[in-house]
């Protein structure tokens, strides 16, 4: 049955009754933290704040300075952000053994900051990086503070250079033209789940957007705005701010120790 008005109480019941729950999250759960998305009316693509080629791998290899000018602004935002209510809610679900894992499109690491442990980052993370020439940081930990300070405090030449071989350092996020990460692991989780929560994603970015379509499970979509997922049996669609909606769901689950600020 298709229900465009899935009540929070019903959503709480679905979570409690499921055996294996996976959340699939997109940029919409982080916008309340001040992190810009790409495709909303205020998104990076829509407003043309940056050339879309900035996030293309081949363009980055030729013009890394274009991306790092964007990165200078992003780092300032990331350093001042905190997890949203929904990030904290999902972490609480995990600690209460009500969710088995999170598959995210986001690169901001806010799920980890909120305390979630079991995460697949399909598009990588902005908190890792490697040299495109010698891969030095793939085998050892990168000093993220050094890397970010280099970008922020070098306005004329923000491109960080590898101290070993003078190659350009590329962030661990997945650029257009690169394969998503851990897709096989994600498929394994999907094959097990009987409930999927799709939160804050318009499902317009492929191949990640295929994930809900691969699930033979009940799907609850909570997103502000339209979603590219066809109506079907056991698919519930809620057009709502995710934080507002899950504050109500949390009450029915008896989860009341979440900072709502």
- Which residues are catalytically annotated? 123
Q: How many residues does the chain have?
A: 261
d(CA 229, CA 239): 13
Name the phi and psi angles at 120, rounded to 5: -110, 120
DSSP state of 54: G
199 beta partners: 25, 222
**DSSP E strands, the chain:** 21-25, 101-104, 119-121, 129-131, 169-171, 195-199, 218-223, 235-239
d(CA 86, CA 253): 14
The β-bridge relationship of strands 169-171 and 101-104 is unpaired
d(CA 226, CA 254): 30
Helix, strand, coil percentages in the chain from 3-state DSSP, rounded to 5: 40, 15, 45
Tell me how many degrees the CA angle 70-76-78 measures, rounded to the nearest 5.
95
CA end-to-end span of the chain: 35
């Amino acid at each position: 049955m298709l229900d465009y008005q899935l009540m929070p109480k019903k959503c709480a019941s679905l979570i409690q009754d499921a055996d294996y729950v996976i959340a699939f999250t997109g940029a919409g759960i982080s916008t309340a933290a001040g992190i810009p998305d790409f495709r909303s009316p205020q998104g990076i693509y829509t407003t043309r704040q940056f050339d879309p080629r900035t996030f293309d791998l081949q363009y980055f290899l030729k013009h890394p300075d274009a991306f790092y000018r964007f990165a200078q602004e992003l780092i300032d935002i990331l350093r001042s952000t905190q997890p949203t209510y929904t990030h904290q809610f999902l972490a609480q679900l995990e600690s209460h053994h009500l969710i088995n894992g999170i598959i995210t499109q986001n690169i901001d690491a806010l799920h980890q900051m909120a305390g979630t442990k079991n995460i697949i980052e399909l598009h990588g993370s902005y908190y890792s990086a490697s040299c495109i020439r010698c891969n030095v940081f793939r085998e050892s930990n990168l000093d993220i503070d050094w890397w970010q300070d280099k970008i922020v405090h070098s306005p004329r030449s923000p491109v960080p250079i590898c101290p070993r071989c003078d190659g350009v350092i590329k962030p661990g996020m997945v650029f257009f033209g690169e394969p998503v990460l851990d897709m096989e692991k994600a498929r394994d989780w999907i094959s097990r789940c009987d409930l999927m929560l799709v939160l804050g994603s318009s499902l317009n970015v492929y191949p990640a957007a295929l994930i809900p379509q691969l699930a033979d499970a009940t799907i609850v979509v909570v997103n502000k705005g339209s979603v590219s997922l066809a109506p079907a049996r056991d698919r519930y669609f809620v057009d709502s701010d995710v934080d507002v909606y899950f504050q109500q769901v949390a009450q029915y689950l008896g989860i009341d120790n979440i900072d709502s600020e």
